[in-house]
A and B are shown apart, each in its own frame.
Chain A
Amino acid sequence: MSEISSGTAVPSAVTPAVRLAGISKRFGAVQANRGVEFEIAPGTVHGLVGENGAGKSTLMAILYGYYQADAGHIEVQGQRVQIANSHQAIALGIGMVHQHFMLVDTLSCLDNVMLGAEPAFFLARAKREVRAKLEALMRDTGLHVHLDALVADLPVGELQRLEILKALYRGARILILDEPTAVLTPQETQQLFETLRRLRALGTTIILITHKLKEVMALCDAVTVMRAGQVIKTCDIRDTSPEDLAEAMVGRKVNLGRSGGAAEGRDERLSVNGLCLKSEQGVALLSDVSLSLRAGEIVGVAGVSGNGQSELLELLSGMRAPDAGRMSLGGASFEAARWLEPRGARALKLAHVPEDRHACGMVMSFPAWETAVLGYHDQAQYRCGPGGLTMNEGHMRAQTAEMMERFDVRPRNAELGSSKFSGGNQQKLVLAREIGQAPAVLLVGQPTRGVDIGAIEFIHGQLRALRDAGCAVLLVSSELDEILALADRVLVMNGGRITGELPIDQCDEKSLGLLMAAQAD
């Protein structure tokens, strides 16, 4: 294991830490990377941005040894290398922090770092050695974690520090971070950036994959923009701006700013009172949650993921019943014992765009036209034959084609498998299905998670249009920018409670961030 703490070896400024030369990679019909040239000066933070499917993940997977390039080669510290698997990548000093943490919940932090890299046969001795090394590492880098705490008990910010420590412990001098801030509060993000700046000062080279352009501007020294498998531009951070980068990513001008306001004082469409929910283990997931939605407004629910937002959506859409609480929706009222069911919710014109579109919003093995009627497949318009037993496939296909046209789902192929569409197009299809029912209330969870920036603009536009048409919209998002751009009123959730409510003109990242983080531990 090499020490990163020495800090004396200052590499020559001309040799890039990593150079990818002419990398091409094809998956079936998709050219994921096309002659990509990419190099990073040592000791810098380099942003890699691009829409979903632009090829940045594939490029990093090639660098980390998950895939082999069809053409081109890789140089690390000026040496031409072959990286056949991630073990070789680690041996070359490349470390990766995945968006989804690769940690074992039931082990301690120390054990997680050690797993697969035990320095001695007997555990007690191995642990002693690892602990000593980690403590030195934590001192030098300022990355602090509780080594003896179980991973399952720790907040995400700390887990991320653990992942970085894990990579550093294995001798990483080149660190790849894949969307590291997706799960963090603004304050945690600031903390992470402090850490990364310190690592940079210690000589670590950092590649930051992200789609948040503000973060690129705040942290990076240089940035590379990818589109459709190719590098569109690489430049020094001082020579660019967020607007400039967004345009390079999408290939045209985009506007993600706020526009339009809500109509005031319309009628109440949905209200819940005193919702409580406990997990099977008896842990309180939601405590005394009350809220109401009025026609013609978008109510944003902000909060760090896992503070009860998902459960709130499940309750409001009828997918799960609370332990206590009342709800009124479209003139009907429900008690905890006789709660709303998904079928009934649709009948009361409540539509739901679920957070997890892969597991929930669509059936991945179905063709697009079967996914496009999911939940509405029992409607009279989709029945035919004796007794209405048969699906009216012709009508389903026609409706799907219409949805695809209206929401610009690409490719316009109703027969294509649902899993074959990109994230943005899958989301557009789900939105088209739910919005197509002209709902009175729309619940939306993470509408733009894993969606590229061009589609984000379109989806936001659709949600605003729906609001303007008088629909009551509840928007749950872990992206503060999204809430700030769309919502008329913001609720903040923390620990299963609503800890604050602010009209949009009193919201900024700081005030919301403080509410989100309050008593988080």
Chain B
Amino acid sequence: MSQPVQLPRWMDIGLLPLWNLAVALAVAGLVVLVIGQSPAQALTVLLNGALGSTRGLGYTLYYATTFIFTGLAVAVAFHGGLFNIGGEGQATVGGIGVGLTALWLSPHLPAPLMLPVLVLAAALFGMAWAAIPAYLQAWRGSHIVITTIMFNFLASSLNVYLLVNLLRPKGSMAVESSMFADSARMPALHELAARLGFELPSSPLNLSLVLALAACVFVWWFLWKSRAGYALRAVGSAPKAAHYAGIRPRMQVLVAMGLSGALAGMVGINEISGVQGKLTLDFVAGAGFTGIAVSLMGRNHPVGIVLASLLFGVLYQGGVEVSFEIPGFSREMVVTVQGLIVLFAGAMAMVSAPLFGRLYLLFKSKEAAHG
């Protein structure tokens, strides 16, 4: 029964995450040492690969875009008191929505019409996929964590079924759909730059980044400024009080999961419309789960989520470079290092908080003694 110390804000949202990151890097450095590589070299290559060139930066931002969507998805559900593990599946189904709509309409519609329709399709498909576990939770009492995990497998299988049995062009051995018409391609940033007359190296970074940032602003407004967000947060932190206040908790489960699924579904815009130009297998590649770490690390706030997404973008892009550049530094090693960061900065984010609390008190009492 020890009293937790209230940390000042700058410590809580500034110092603590940086400290966690430092601990994670130190432990990762130890692991790198153990396999006989130089941590300093690995870190240099990682940072250089992610931030050292315009091209690298483009990739970093492209990864970050996806993480912003999945991170926001986790955060919105979290504020509604729900733990949405199903970002992976909702993103997959969002991508399926983009793929189907693009294959159907892209030959007929011009880009200015096609792209908004695609965004809508991604959101609606993701929303629908999340609404089923939400309904099961609210009206049937099935736990959302269990159902969303199962729905990840369902989504992945659904995608395989569609691609193998329905969408694969006749005669093709590759498990992917045919290419969309150009109107269904979210413009890449280097293409836009070229049109404006200056040159950027080619990277998968596309206008979805703008969409992601707009989503951040929207989520901020929705959660803390809108009346709907007020009801959602009330249910999330005090379900009995919300019921007392005349808010229907079951409806709020639907709202929270619906919005969460819609945000996760937007991954389909970045990956399918922005990069692939066709529906493929496994395009989410674990981003749904990374979103959980991103949201945890970003304290479920859009600003924090953007910062955490950038960090994970750097880790992904830099990690790829490290496994290319340093012989003996395998792809698995990179995943290990990323896992350590998720562990320390996400799952164990509050482990060091009591230590800082004591330090802070010590510092305070010294100050008081001097003053």
Among A161-169, A370-378, A497-505, the one that faces the other chain is A370-378
Judging by beta carbons under 8 Å apart, are B241 and A363 in contact?
yes
For residue A102, CB closer than 8 A to chain B, the reply is no
For residue B41, CB closer than 8 A to chain A, the reply is no
Contacts of A356 in B (CB 8 A): 240
C-alpha gap A364/B221 in the complex (Å): 21
C-alpha gap A221/B237 in the complex (Å): 46
Determine how close the nearest CB of chain A comes to the CB of B46; give it in whole angstroms.
38
Give B191-248 interface residues, CB cut-off 8 Å to A: 221, 225-228, 230-231, 233-234, 237-238, 240-246
**Number of B residues with CB within 8 Å of any CB on chain A:** 22
C-alpha gap A97/B139 in the complex (Å): 41
Closest partner residue, chain A, to B222 (CB atom):
A389
Judging by beta carbons under 8 Å apart, are A359 and B230 in contact?
no
Closest partner residue, chain A, to B361 (CB atom):
A28
C-alpha gap A366/B243 in the complex (Å): 16
Selected contact of B3 from candidates A27, A361, A389, CB within 8 Å: A27
Closest partner residue, chain A, to B238 (CB atom):
A363
C-alpha gap A342/B242 in the complex (Å): 10
Judging by beta carbons under 8 Å apart, are A359 and B240 in contact?
yes
Produce 1/0 per residue, B315-347, CB < 8 A to A. Answer: 000000000000000000000000000000000
Contacts of A360 in B (CB 8 A): 238, 240-241, 244
Determine how close the nearest CB of chain B comes to the CB of A282; give it in whole angstroms.
20
Determine how close the nearest CB of chain B comes to the CB of A517; give it in whole angstroms.
30
For residue B352, CB closer than 8 A to chain A, the reply is no
Determine how close the nearest CB of chain A comes to the CB of B141; give it in whole angstroms.
13
Contacts of B5 in A (CB 8 A): 28
Judging by beta carbons under 8 Å apart, are B240 and A342 in contact?
no
For residue A383, CB closer than 8 A to chain B, the reply is yes
C-alpha gap A490/B243 in the complex (Å): 29
Judging by beta carbons under 8 Å apart, are A365 and B238 in contact?
yes
Judging by beta carbons under 8 Å apart, are B233 and A375 in contact?
no
For residue B173, CB closer than 8 A to chain A, the reply is no
For residue B1, CB closer than 8 A to chain A, the reply is yes
C-alpha gap A365/B235 in the complex (Å): 11
C-alpha gap A374/B247 in the complex (Å): 10
Number of A-B contacts (CB under 8 A): 75
For residue A458, CB closer than 8 A to chain B, the reply is no
Determine how close the nearest CB of chain B comes to the CB of A26; give it in whole angstroms.
9
Judging by beta carbons under 8 Å apart, are A391 and B238 in contact?
no
For residue B6, CB closer than 8 A to chain A, the reply is yes
Judging by beta carbons under 8 Å apart, are A375 and B246 in contact?
yes
Judging by beta carbons under 8 Å apart, are B245 and A377 in contact?
yes
Judging by beta carbons under 8 Å apart, are A366 and B234 in contact?
yes
Contacts of B240 in A (CB 8 A): 356, 359-360
Given known pairs A364-B237, A365-B238, A377-B230, the reply for A342 and B244 (CB within 8 Å) is: yes
Produce 1/0 per residue, B299-313, CB < 8 A to A. Answer: 000000000000000
Judging by beta carbons under 8 Å apart, are B230 and A391 in contact?
yes
Determine how close the nearest CB of chain A comes to the CB of B95; give it in whole angstroms.
30
Judging by beta carbons under 8 Å apart, are A361 and B1 in contact?
no
Judging by beta carbons under 8 Å apart, are B225 and A364 in contact?
no
C-alpha gap A61/B2 in the complex (Å): 11
Judging by beta carbons under 8 Å apart, are B225 and A390 in contact?
yes
Selected contact of A391 from candidates B1, B227, B244, CB within 8 Å: B227
C-alpha gap A391/B224 in the complex (Å): 9
Judging by beta carbons under 8 Å apart, are B241 and A362 in contact?
yes
Given known pairs A66-B1, A366-B233, the reply for A390 and B227 (CB within 8 Å) is: yes
Contacts of A317 in B (CB 8 A): 244
Judging by beta carbons under 8 Å apart, are B244 and A378 in contact?
no
Selected contact of A374 from candidates B3, B221, B234, CB within 8 Å: B234
Judging by beta carbons under 8 Å apart, are A378 and B227 in contact?
yes
Judging by beta carbons under 8 Å apart, are B243 and A393 in contact?
no
7 inter-chain pairs at a CB distance below 8 angstroms, sorted by A residue, are: A61-B1, A359-B241, A360-B244, A361-B244, A363-B238, A363-B241, A389-B227
A residues contacting B by CB (< 8 A) are 27-28, 61, 66-67, 317, 319, 341-343, 345-346, 352, 354, 356, 359-366, 370, 374-375, 377-378, 382-383, 388-391, 393
If A317-B244, A362-B238, A370-B230 are given as contacts, then 15 extra A-B residue pairs at C-beta distance below 8 Å, sorted by A number, are A28-B6, A66-B1, A67-B1, A319-B243, A342-B244, A342-B246, A345-B246, A359-B241, A363-B242, A365-B233, A389-B228, A390-B226, A390-B227, A391-B225, A393-B225
Nearest 5 Cβ contacts at the A-B interface: A343-B246, A375-B245, A342-B246, A363-B238, A365-B237
B residues contacting A by CB (< 8 A) are 1, 3, 5-6, 221, 225-228, 230-231, 233-234, 237-238, 240-246
